[in-house]
Structure 1
Amino acid sequence: MDNSNYIPGETRSVKLLYLLILVGLVGILMALLSMNIPLFAVIITFPFICTGGILILRYPQLMLFIIFTINYFILGITRYIPIEGISIIMDILYVLTLILIIIQSALYHNIEWKRCFHLLSAFSLLWASYCILEIMNPSALLDGWILSRGLIINGLIITVITSLLCTKYKILKAILFTYSLFTVLAILKTFMQKYVGFDTFETRWLNNGGATTHLIHSGIRYFSFFTDASNMGSNMGGAGIVLGIASLYIRNRTLKIYYVIVAIVSLYTMMLSGTRGAIIVPLAGIALYTVVSKQTRSIILGSISLALVYVFFAFTMIGQSNSSIRRMRTAFKPSEDASYIVRKENQRKLKEYLKYKPFGEGLGLSGDGLGVKLSKRFTTSIPTDSWYVKIWVETGIIGLIIYMGMVLITIGRGSWILMFNIHDPELKGILTGWLCAIFGMFMSAYGNSFWGQFPTMVIAFMGMSFILNGKYFDKELSNYTNL
C-alpha cells in the first residue's frame, strides 16, 4: 500500500492552522489598505471570540463569572457610554447561559438538575407566576409589565443558573475572591471621587439632576460606579459583612488578612456614601451572625458591639463634626428627620389609596422613576423611597407577602442549614458571611429601593442559592477529607 500521500491527523491540523493564519493576515492587510476599521476589528477579535466560545463550551461555569462581572459594572459603564436598553444585555446573557446548560446536559449529561430544586427556586417560580398574572390587573399597563420583566423572572433565572453551575467548592471560593476584587475597585473609585474629584462624566451626571441628592447641605454623598450613593452604601456594607465574617474562618493566612483589610475599608466607604439606611446592613448582619454562630463568645461580643454602636450614634455627639457620622446619626433619631416624616406621610397616603387594591396598581406603576414615564396617576406621583413600598404599590399586599416571604423564609432556612447541616468550618464561615450580608441588605431595602437594581439582586439571589446548596459543598469537602 502506497503511503506517500498519507498525512497524519496532527500534520493536517497544523497545515489548517497555517492556512487560517495566512487568511487572517491577508484579511488584516486588506482591511488596513482599504481603511476598513470595522473589518479589521472583527478579524482581530475573531480568534478571541472562537477561543472564548470553546472555553465556555468546555467550562460552562465561566458564564457564572461573566454574569457576575457584567452585573457588577454594567450601570457604572452607562455613565460613560450611553447604552439604550441596558437590561437587554443581561437578558441575552441569561438566555445564552440557559441554552448552554441545556446543551451540556444533552451532550455530556453533566448537569445535576436536582441542585436547582430547592426552597428559593420554588418561591421564585411562585413569584414569577403571580407577576405574570398581574397582566390581568384592571389598572395595569402592558408597557409597565414588559419593562418589569427583571423583577418578574430574574430571581428565578439567577437561582437556577447559580445552582447548576456553581457545583464545586473551588468555584464558590473563586466567586468570593472575585467579589472582593470588585469591592476593592469600588473602594478605589470612591476614594478617587473624594480625594481627586469627580471626573467629567460624573460631573455631567451630577449637573443633570444627581446633585440634588448627592451634593447636599450635610456634605457630599459619594457613589463610586454604582447607580447612586444609596446603592453604593448598602453594597459596601454588605461586602464588609461577607468578607469580614468569611475572614474569621478562611484557612489561608494571607487571604484572611486581605479579607479583613477589604472588609474594614468597605465599611468606611459605606460611611462616605452618606446613606443613613446603609448602617442597618452591618448591624443586622452582626445580629444574625450572633444567632447562626451558636457560639457563646460570638453572641456576647456581637451583642456588646451592637450596643456600643447604638449608644455611640443615639446617645453621644462624638464625631459630630464629621459629615458622614453626622448624617448616619440621624438614622437613630428618625422622628427628628424631615425626610423620614415625609416618607411616613407618603406611605399613609398610599395605604389609603391601596386599601381596596389587594393586587396593587400594576407592575411598573410606582413612583420610582419608571412609573412617571409610563403614566401620570396617583401612585406614580408619590416616590416610594423603599423596595418594600415599591412591591406593595405595584403588586399589592398579596405580592408583598409573597416577595417578603420568599426572601425571609429562605434566610430562615439558610440559617437552619448553617447551624445544623454544615460541618466544614471554612465553608460555614463563607456561607454565613453571604447570609448575614443578604439579611442586612434586605433590611436596609426598607429605606432604599436599591434591592432590585444592579448589582444587588444578582448578588443576593446568587448568595441565597449558595447557601441552600451548602450540603453539596459540605459533602464534597467531607469526601475529600476522608480520602
Structure 2
Amino acid sequence: MKSNANPQKSLIDIVLSPYWVRRWGLALLFFICLGIVYLSSKGVWLIGFLIAGACMGAPVLLATMVNTKVGVYMMVSIAFIMSMFLRLIQGVPIGLLMDFTILLMTVGELLKDIEKREYTFFKTPLSWVVYIWMGWHFLELANPEAASRVAWFYVARPAVGYIMIYFVTYRFLNSRTEIKKLLSLIIFLSFFSGAWGVAQFVFGYFPFEMNYIIQNDAVHLVFIQGRWRSFGTMGSPAHFGVIMAYMVVFCILLIGFKKTFWGRFYYIVVIVTCFMGLVYSGARSGIAVIPLAGATVVGLSKNMKLYVTSLFAGIGLFFVIIMPTDNYHIKRIQSTFKSDEDESFQVREKNKEMIIPWIMAHPMGGGLGSTGVWGQRFSPGTFLANFPPDSGYVRVAVEMGWIGYLLYLLLWGAVLIKTLLMYLKVKDEELRWIAIGIFGALCPLVVVETAQDIVGKLPSNMLFWIWVAMLLRALEIGTIPNRESIYDEPAEDSDK
C-alpha cells in the first residue's frame, strides 16, 4: 500500500525549488535595478552601466558551459570586432572575458565527459602535436633567459586558451550543417570588416579611430606614400588584408554551391567588398595570398577548367606586375613581387641575419613576450625589447628558441600532412570544396609568416585553430557522400 505522505524535503530542496528560485531572482533583480538607479542619480553612471552589463552577460557566459556553440560563435565575433571596440573604449579587459569564456566552455565539455564517463574531449587526429606545442609553452615559464614572468602569463594565456578553442570547435562541429553555419558566420564577419575598410577609404577614419592612431603613435603604420591604409575592424592593415584575401578565394570556390539567385548575389557582394578591402589595405602580404591560395586550390582541385582559368589569371597578373603605371594601388601590388626594390623587406632581412647567431645560442629563446609590445612593456631597455619581430617565424625563434621554432614547424607539418592524407579519401563534393577552401586559407600562411606575424595575433590566432578543427571535421564527414553527421550512415539524398 502506497503512502500518501509527502517525502520529507530538506531546506536546500525548498530554497532551490522553482517556486522560490523565481522569487529570489525577482528580488535580486529588483535590488540590482535599485542600485543602478541610485548610482546613476549620484553621477556614477559607469559602475551602474557595468553592473547592468554583468547582469546581461552572466547568463550568456553560463550558457556557454551548456551549449559551447554559443561560446564559439561569440569568440569568433569578438575576435573580428575587438580591435575596433578597443579603439572606441580603451582599457576594457576584453581579453580576460574571452579567456574566461574559453575556460567555461572547456569546463562544460569536461563535465559532460565526466557525466557520460566518456573522456573524448581531447581526442582528435592532431592531439599529439597540439600537446607538444602546448607543453613547450608551459616549459617556457622556466626559461632562465626570460626577463619577465609576467610577460609569459600575458602571452601564454591566450596562446594556450585559443588552442582550447580547437578542441571545443572540433567537438561541436559534428555535422555538415554545423560546419556550414559557422562558415557562414565567418563569411559575414569578413564582409562586415571589409565594408568597414571600404568606408574608411571612402569617408576617412572615424574620429575615435584617428584619436587612437595619434595617441598610440601609429601613424607610420597606416600612412604610407601619402595614403591612409584601411584596416577594417582588425588590428592592422596587414592582418586585415590577409583575411580579406583568403576570403575572396574562399567565396569564389563556394559560390557554385549556392542554389538561389540571392545566395549567389550575396557571395558576389562579399567577394567584391573583400577584394576592395584588400586593395585599400595596401597589404602586400595580402596580395601575395591571392596567387598562393590560387595555386593551392588549383593543385588540389583536379579540375581542368580551373587549370585553364589559372593560366589566364597568371598571365593577367604578370601584365599587372610589369605594366607602367602611376596608380598607387597598382604600384603597391607590383611592389609585392619586387622585394629587391623594397626597403622595408631589406631591413627585415638584415634583422634576421643579425638575430640568427643569437637564436642558435639560446635553445629556449628569450622567453614569451620578450619582443615587441610586450617586451617594451615588461622588460624595457633589454636587447630583445627593441628587436622588431616582423616575421611570425622570427618571433617564435627569438622568444621560444630554435627548439620552439622546430616544434612550430612540426605543428605546421603535422597539420598539413595529416589533413592532405585525409583529403585523398574525401568523396563528398561539397565538403571537398570546403576543405580546399580551408587549405587555400592555411597554406598561404606558411609563406606569409616569413614576412608578417599573422598567426600570432587576433583574429588569425583564433581562426587558425578553428580552421584546423573545421577542416578535420569536413574531411571526416566527407569520406561518405551525402553524409550529414559524423555519426550517420550513408544517405540516399544530399541534405544540402
Secondary structure (helix, strand or coil) at the match of 2:396 reads: helix
Kindly provide the CA deviation profile for residues 110-159 of structure 1, in whole angstroms up to 9, marking residues without a partner as x. Answer: 9782784212x321211111222223333123233222214641353122
Q: Report what 1:91 is aligned to.
A: 99
Amino acid of the residue matched to residue 189 of structure 1?
W
How big is each residue's C-alpha offset from its partner over 1:151-175, in whole Å with a ceiling of 9 and x where there is no partner? 6413531221111122222111111
1:202 alignment partner AA: E
| SS in structure 2 of the partner of residue 140 of structure 1 | coil
Q: What displacement does 1:307 show?
A: 4.2
Question: Quick check: 1:325 aligned with 2:330?
Answer: yes
Q: Which residue of 2 aligns with 1:265?
A: 273
- Which residue pairs with 1:278 in the alignment? 286
Alpha-carbon distance in structure 2 between the residues aligned to 1:30 and 1:385: 49
**Of 170, 174, 178, which residue of structure 2 is paired with 1:171?**
178
User: Is residue 292 of structure 1 aligned with residue 300 of structure 2?
Assistant: yes
Q: Which residue of structure 2 aligns with residue 362 of structure 1?
A: 367
Give 1:387's aligned residue: 392
Task: Give the gaps of 5 or more residues in structure 1.
Answer: 4-11
Aligned to 1:7: none
Query: Where does residue 348 of structure 1 map in the other structure?
Result: 353
Query: 1:40: how far off?
Result: 7.5
Match of 1:447 in 2: 451
Establish whether residue 243 from structure 1 lines up as the match of residue 248 from structure 2: no
**Does residue 75 of structure 1 match 2:83?**
yes
Which residue of structure 1 aligns with residue 7 of structure 2? none
Give 1:138's aligned amino acid.
P
Deviations 1:277-322 (A, max 9, x none): 111212111111111112233233224423432x1343222xx332
Q: Retained in 2: the 8 A contact 1:234–1:270?
A: yes
Aligned to 2:134: 128
Q: Distance in 2 between matches of 1:137 and 1:217?
A: 42
Deviation per residue, 1:309-337 (Å, 9 max, x gap) = 2x1343222xx332222112111111111
SS at match of 2:109: helix
| Aligned AA (1:242) | F
Q: Give the conservation status (yes or no) of the 8 Å contact 1:241–1:285.
A: yes
CA 1:33–1:177: 2 relative to 1, 3 Å: same
- Residue identity opposite 2:369 in structure 1: G
| Equivalent-residue separation in structure 2 for 1:247 and 1:365 (angstroms) | 44
1: distance between equivalents of 2:362 and 2:28?
66
Would you say 1:428 and 2:436 are equivalent positions? no
- How many residues in Structure 1 have an aligned counterpart in Structure 2? 468
Q: Deviations over 1:211-263 (max 9, x none)?
A: 11211225221111211111111111122222222223445553233223312
Equivalent pair of 1:56/1:62 in contact (CA under 8 Å): yes
* Partner AA of 2:319 in structure 1: F
Give 1:26 deviation, angstroms: 8.4
Q: 2:152 touches 2:368 (CA, 8 Å); kept in 1?
A: yes
Q: Are the aligned partners of 1:111 and 1:164 in contact in 2 as well (CA < 8 Å)? A: no
* One-letter identity of the residue aligned with 2:299: V
Q: Which amino acid aligns with 2:454?
A: F
1:394 to partner: Cα distance: 1.2
Give the TM-score, by structure 1 length. Answer: 0.86
Distance 1:203 1:47, change over 3 A: closer
Q: Identity over aligned residues, as a percent?
A: 18
Q: Which letter maps to 2:138?
A: I
Whole-Å Cα distance in 2 between the matches of residues 365 and 42 of structure 1? 34
**Aligned-partner residue type, residue 135 of structure 2:** S
Q: Is the 8 A contact 1:137 1:362 kept in 2?
A: yes
Name the counterpart of 1:137: 143
Conserved? CA contact 1:314–1:332, under 8 Å: yes
Moved more, 74-83 or 145-154: 145-154
Gap runs ≥5 in structure 2 = 5-16
Q: Which amino acid aligns with 1:59?
A: N
Instruction: Report how far residue 44 of structure 1 moved.
Output: 6.9
Structure 1 residues 246 and 110: CA distance shift in structure 2, 3 A: farther
The answer to whether the aligner puts 1:372 opposite 2:376 as a matched pair is: yes
Q: In the aligned structure 2, how far is the partner of 1:143 from the partner of 1:45?
A: 29
Residue 161, structure 1, aligned to residue 168, structure 2: yes
Residues 359/50 of structure 1: CA separation in 2 closer, same or farther (3 Å cut): closer
Is the partner of 1:479 in helix, strand or coil?
Answer: coil
Match of 2:214 among 207, 210, 232: 207
> Per the alignment, in what secondary structure is the counterpart of residue 481 of structure 1?
coil
What is the identity, as a one-letter code, of the residue corresponding to 2:314?
Answer: L
1:482 aligns with 2:492: yes
Residues 248 and 429 in structure 1, CA contact (< 8 A), matched pair in contact too: no
Give the corresponding residue for 2:12.
none
TM-score, normalising length: structure 2: 0.84
Seen in structure 2, the aligned counterparts of structure 1 residues 127 and 20 have a Cα distance that, compared at 3 Å, is closer
Task: Please give the alpha-carbon distance, in whole angstroms, between the structure 1 residues aligned to 2:211 and 2:418.
Answer: 45
Q: Is the 8 A contact 1:116 1:163 kept in 2?
A: no
1:386, distance to aligned residue in structure 2 (A): 1.0
Secondary structure at the aligned position of 1:79 is classed as: helix
How far is 1:451 from its partner? 1.8
Return the match for 1:146 from 140, 153, 157: 153
Q: Distance in 2 between matches of 1:194 and 1:352?
A: 43
Q: What is the alpha-carbon distance in structure 2 between the residues aligned to residue 47 and residue 17 of structure 1?
A: 16
The CA RMSD over aligned residues, in Å, is 3.2
Looking at structure 1, the residues matched to 57 and 96 of structure 2 have their Cα atoms a distance apart, in angstroms, of 20
d(CA) in 1 for partners of 2:432 and 2:465? 18
Distance 1:19 1:117, change over 3 A: closer
Is the partner of 2:489 in helix, strand or coil?
Answer: helix
Secondary structure in 2 matching 1:364: coil
**Closer, same or farther: CA 322–355 of 1 in aligned 2, 3 Å:** same
Q: CA deviation at 1:45?
A: 6.8
